[in-house]
């Protein structure tokens, strides 16, 4: 019979091994963007390192198998458990070598994890188990452990504990396996008391990290952001950070600035009013993205608007901007207005399954920095939006910067045209971002910018609006491809544009 407790340890070490991989992928996506690239390279490096670890395990002398297994578990627990906290600190203080440290940790953890299962199988094999039963049972619990953590990590652990504390938790489990092994097989170890004491010491260190991990991350994030961090939360979809300096509130998603309260009025007035000011009979408006409620705030200023539907993926985002007193003061309680319906769903999926028609659609998605976001700016997505747009309705899309990211901006324009829209690109200066771009789209070519605004504006007037639809020589159109799902040209343009800016 196989030792059931050893088989249970296989389940635990498999869970921990995958957890460290997911933590590295999620953290690098938060800090570096482009989640597909990060997860792909990390998974590849991790699996390669596991292969090296499996090969190295054969050099462990048979009589030292248990000792080496305990030592490997302690190293995995210590290095893997602290990996997220270490990476946060490296990014905060030494951003240049971040990738080097990231992949070094991935390789070290992968090598150690790769040694675990072969060593466990050797221990079990010494207990005269049938080889076929041994392999099937070990691999079964290995895969079950991977399944368990792949579900728990995004749904429970990352949102509730955060990445750093989740790392320390799994490190504690690895160290716990080492302590139990040292206790269970103490008669087969050369120095059983020393092994148990060492395991307890590592467990205490990791327990300290588990309880103090949030403070460590907050301290590290405080070094990343120039202003004091007043709120931070990891959701299943993104990392939300809010900073404040005097009267300036700033929202950062995955490290990228989304707005500054000092000049967000410029961005949101430009996003909403050039369209709605020309639709005096508009009653129903659909907002896609924009979970901060700031675009909704501007829409609700029109007395003719009867219904606003906001579709945003992340309930943590919309909940925060519906409850936090400072943020609700900024959006003027837009998300709790009786005319507003908030729906937390994927925008594309929601558009496919609902039939409503709207007088205006405002697409205020994050920039297309990865393929998951790039699909929101694709030809199929814009065709879906077209089905929900009234015959004489208007669609407005935030479209990155025509100055800093010209390929991206004109790609979005080309994509809307490929989806059957007539487009009117425009831009506005937002001090926090520089020159920012929008594209107004319709089925008909007779749009004219408003010559006056019935509502009082902080930024816009007739003269500034006319200038927004005029592009100077250094922001003229580029010849680019439309963004289709099979090529995701926009994401490549975006990375190329902002890579040029960084260089």
Please say if 364 is a catalytic residue. Answer: yes
CATH of the domain at 174: 1.20.1250
Q: What's the structural domain count of the chain?
A: 2
CB 98 within 8 A of CB 199: no
Question: Rounded to whole angstroms, how far apart are CA atoms 34 and 23?
Answer: 15
Task: Specify the DSSP class assigned to residue 365.
Answer: P
CB 153 within 8 A of CB 22: yes
Q: Are residues 214 and 281 in the same domain?
A: no
CB 101 within 8 A of CB 24: no
Task: Specify the DSSP class assigned to residue 157.
Answer: I
Cite the DSSP H helix spans in 432-483.
462-468
Q: Are residues 446 and 305 in the same domain?
A: yes
Mean pLDDT per block of 10 residues along the chain (503 residues) reads: 65 87 84 72 91 92 87 94 87 75 93 88 66 66 82 83 88 92 84 90 93 74 76 83 92 88 97 97 97 98 97 96 96 97 95 94 92 91 96 96 96 97 97 96 93 95 94 94 91 84 52
What is the residue range of 15's domain?
4-224
Q: Are residues 100 and 171 in the same domain?
A: yes
Q: 364, 367, 446, 474: which is the annotated catalytic residue?
A: 364
Q: Are residues 203 and 346 in the same domain?
A: no
In a domain, residue 76? The reply is: yes
Domain boundary residue among 224, 245, 273? Answer: 224
Domain boundary residue among 195, 224, 253? Answer: 224
Question: How much is the pTM?
Answer: 0.75
In a domain, residue 255? The reply is: no
> Residue 2's pLDDT is what?
45
- CA proximity to 348, closest of 442, 485, 488: 485
> Residue 51's pLDDT is what?
94
Phi, psi for 244 (deg, rounded to 5): -145, 130
Burial of 269-301, coded b for 16+ CB within 10 Å and e otherwise, reads: bbbbbbbbbbbeebebbbbbbbbbbbbbbbbbb
Phi, psi for 391 (deg, rounded to 5): -55, -45
Q: How far is CA 404 from CA 317, 370, 410, 434, in A?
A: 28, 18, 12, 9
Question: Rounded to whole angstroms, how far apart are CA atoms 406 and 476?
Answer: 8
At 369, list the tokens.
């920095």
CATH of the domain at 421: 3.40.50.150
In a domain, residue 235? The reply is: no
Q: Are residues 203 and 337 in the same domain?
A: no
> Residue 96's pLDDT is what?
63
């Amino acid at each position: 019979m196989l030792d059931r407790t050893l088989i249970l340890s296989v389940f635990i070490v498999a869970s921990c091994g995958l957890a460290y991989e997911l933590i590295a992928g999620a953290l690098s996506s938060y800090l570096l963007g482009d989640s597909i690239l990060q997860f792909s390279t990390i998974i590849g490096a991790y699996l390669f390192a596991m292969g090296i670890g499996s090969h190295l395990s054969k050099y462990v002398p048979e009589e030292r198998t248990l000792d080496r297994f305990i030592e490997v578990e302690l190293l995995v627990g210590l290095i893997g458990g602290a990996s997220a906290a270490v990476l946060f600190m490296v990014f905060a203080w030494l951003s240049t070598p971040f990738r080097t440290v990231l992949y070094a940790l991935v390789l070290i953890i992968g090598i150690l994890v790769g040694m675990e299962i072969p060593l466990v199988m050797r221990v079990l094999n010494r207990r005269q188990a049938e080889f076929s039963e041994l392999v099937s049972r070990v691999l079964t619990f290995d895969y079950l452990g991977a399944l368990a953590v792949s579900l728990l990590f995004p749904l429970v652990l990352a949102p509730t504990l955060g990445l750093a504390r989740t790392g320390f938790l799994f490190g504690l489990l690895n160290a716990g396996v080492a302590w139990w092994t040292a206790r269970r097989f103490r008669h087969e170890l050369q120095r059983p008391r020393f092994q148990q004491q060492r395991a307890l010491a590592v467990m205490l260190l990791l327990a300290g990290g588990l309880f103090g991990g949030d403070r460590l991350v907050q301290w590290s994030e405080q070094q990343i952001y120039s202003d004091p961090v007043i709120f931070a939360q990891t959701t299943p979809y993104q990392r939300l950070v809010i900073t404040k300096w005097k009267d300036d509130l700033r929202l950062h998603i995955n490290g990228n600035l989304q707005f500054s309260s000092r000049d967000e009025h410029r961005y949101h007035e430009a996003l909403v009013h050039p369209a709605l000011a020309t639709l005096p009979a508009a009653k129903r408006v659909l907002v896609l993205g924009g979970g901060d409620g700031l675009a909704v705030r501007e829409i609700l200023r029109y007395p003719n608007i009867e219904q606003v539907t906001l579709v945003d993926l992340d309930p943590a985002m919309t909940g925060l901007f519906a409850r936090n007193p400072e943020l609700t003061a900024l959006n003027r309680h837009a998300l709790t207005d009786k005319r507003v319906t908030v729906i937390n769903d994927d925008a594309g999926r929601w558009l496919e399954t609902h039939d409503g028609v709207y007088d205006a659609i405002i697409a205020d998605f994050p920039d297309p920095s990865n393929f998951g976001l790039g699909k929101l700016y694709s030809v199929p997505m814009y065709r879906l939006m077209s089905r929900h747009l009234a015959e004489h309705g208007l669609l407005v899309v935030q479209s990155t910067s025509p100055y800093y990211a010209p390929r991206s901006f004109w790609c979005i324009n080309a994509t809307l045209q490929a989806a059957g829209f007539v487009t009117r690109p425009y831009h506005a200066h937002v001090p926090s971002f520089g020159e920012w771009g929008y594209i107004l789209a319709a089925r008909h070519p007779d749009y004219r910018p408003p010559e006056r605004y019935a509502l009082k504006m902080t930024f816009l007037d007739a003269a500034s609006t006319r200038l927004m639809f005029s592009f100077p020589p250094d922001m003229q159109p580029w010849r680019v491809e439309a963004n289709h799902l099979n090529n995701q040209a926009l994401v490549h343009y975006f990375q190329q544009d902002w890579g040029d800016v960084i260089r």
